[in-house]
Amino acid sequence: MGLFDFFQKKFSKSNEGNRQEGTPIDNNSYLLEVLRNRLSQLGYQIDRHPQYLALVVNSEIEIATVIIENPNDHPSILHLMVLTIQPKYFPNGIKENIVGIGTTIQDKINSVLDNYINTTFLPIIDSFSDSHNSDLDFSTMINNKEVLWHPKLGNLTLQGRWNEQPQNEPFFEVVKDKLKNKLTSNKFNWLKLYIFKQADGTIIGECLFNNEHWGEGLTEITEYAKSWKMNSNFQGLKQFMMFRKCDAYDE
């Protein structure tokens, strides 16, 4: 079963029959309703997807969500799978697995949506605008042609206690040189970085480029984490990045 079939199945299951007025909706539908309201408040046009348990943002980007039920998860944790789709540029979707924390389902849903909106959605939607930070722009050679890229960097999320927080864009600077040889000729590329270090020196990380494991990137951020001075039992960093090919270089 493909991933789209999985979301379609969840959509069908959550909409079996006609729900009577006044009866509670399931958590997946409730989460999507909260997301719809949150994005509407941010000024985006939001419509329901006609087939999947998903939303359509500005008639262009689709967001499909489903809560992953795992009996081994802590009761305060909500695990959410999100697929952000643009039919032309990333039809298979940008995949994200994130968690929210709370004592009630409302708290957990608000937490997980804060995570998604602030770290992943905003750089994705911003990458469709003409704005860019020239201090971050860089060029690569693809097929013997120079290409200019406009990075859109999500918020750098910190975990644990940091006496001195990382300055500027440390993740971007660490992987930038290796990234130049990794970017494809597609209009958009994306990168998800996560690194976690324990007080005993154990380091666990994840580096996904266009949804696929990127070993060189993981090596770079692991080396970076080795330099951290530990001030607590653990410290972690997480960031999502989009890279848009400058319109002037479109073929």
Distance from CA of residue 191 to its chain's centroid? 9
Q: pLDDT tens, 59-105?
A: 999 999 999 988 777 889 999 999 999 999 999 999 999 999 999 99
Whether the pLDDT of residue 1 is over 70: the answer is: no
Quick one: pLDDT at residue 152?
96
Higher per-residue pLDDT: 10 or 187: 187
Rounded Cα distance, 180 and 187, in Å: 15
Quick one: pLDDT at residue 130?
82
Q: pLDDT tens, 179-205?
A: 999 999 999 999 999 999 999 999 999
CA contacts within 13 A on the Cβ side of 113: 21
Q: Which residues contact 219 (CB under 8 A, 6 or more apart)?
A: none
Among all chains, which residue has been given the structure tokens 């997980």? 112
Rounded Cα distance, 21 and 33, in Å: 16
Rounded Cα distance, 235 and 225, in Å: 9
CA contacts within 13 A on the Cβ side of 147: 25
Eight-class DSSP state of 200: T
Burial class (CB in 10 A: 0-12, 13-18, 19+), 30: middle
Strand segments (E) across the chain: 46-48, 54-57, 61-68, 77-86, 90-101, 138-142, 145-153, 157-160, 188-198, 203-209, 212-213, 234-245
Whether the pLDDT of residue 117 is over 90: the answer is: yes
Report the predicted TM-score, pTM, of the whole model to 2 decimal places: 0.87
How is residue 75 written in tokens? Answer: 């009761």
Asked if 97 and 119 count as a contact pair (C-beta separation under 8 A), the reply is: no
Strand partners, 163: none
Eight-class DSSP state of 38: H
What sign has the CA pseudo-torsion 45, 49, 53, 58?
negative
